[in-house]
Amino acid sequence: MITKERFKLANDVEIPKLGLGTWFIDDGDAARVVRDAVEIGYRHIDTARAYGNEAGVGEGVRTSGIERSELFVTTKLAAELKSYDEAAAGIDESLTNLGLDYADMMIIHSPKPWMKFHGDDHYFEGNREAWRALEDAYDAGKLRAIGLSNFERVDIDNILGSCSVKPMVNQILVHISSSPFELIEYSQQQDMLVEAYSPIAHGQLFRNEQVTAMAERYGVSVPQLSIRYVLQLGLLPLPKTSNPDHMRSNTEVDFEISGVDMDTLRNLEQIQDYGEIGVMPVFGGDLS
């Protein structure tokens, strides 16, 4: 069962191979969603300050009925916090929101503030300062692991050039028809686990005839095929859903995609339209 399997981070902390994403889940619903996921077998929950649901996620963790140590909780430092003091305060605020003594992992949500995501400024100094705050929180035991999200190679190198603790993950957009293989390989070469958010492309893969036909041939759903694809790349998928039936189905990925079919999926034409979420910077849009 995939929910029982683990990756090992560079600092030997174990992280469940499948996580539950909580983007677009309202704070008022998040506790119930987390409890449902835990009952199904999930042990890895991914949230963020920007999602506005840390409080609900934390409540779900605290009321899940299992030991805190059995759950892996990730949250993200807001992309706009680019000074040491802002980042240090943001770390503490997230822990307060969660109602937890520690987070299993915190990652910088983006190297650039969202409103400047497509700008030329990489905020190198600000990211080094934010990383220093994460390192101090890690050393203080507030965080068991620290990492990055949406960082390109140049942004990763900026952190590696001055850090005392190396990033343990890079969480990026990866799914069938959008797999940045060079960035994945480079992140892995730096001993970072790559986490794949939006592994089902927010449902847009249902519109791809090649994907739907292949899923039918394997006797699985499009989400199951998509999650299995990410796992076979050696990555950690973070499918988002609030539906318990979908949560359960997303764990049922005990099959193997053939090498030929993996090559087909690797080389599908890149997706161009993400629907209503296409306005978000990471999906090609511009919030400004």
Contact 42, 53 (CB under 8 A): no
Among 51, 138, 197, 229, the active-site one is 51
* Strand ranges inside the chain, DSSP E: 6-8, 14-16, 20-21, 44-46, 72-77, 105-108, 146-149, 169-173, 193-197, 236-238
Which residues partner with 65 through β-bridges?
A: none
Three-state DSSP state, 74:
strand
Using alpha carbons, list the distances in angstroms from residue 114 to 5, 51, 155: 34, 13, 15
Indicate if 229 belongs to the active site. Answer: no
What are the residue numbers of the active site? 51
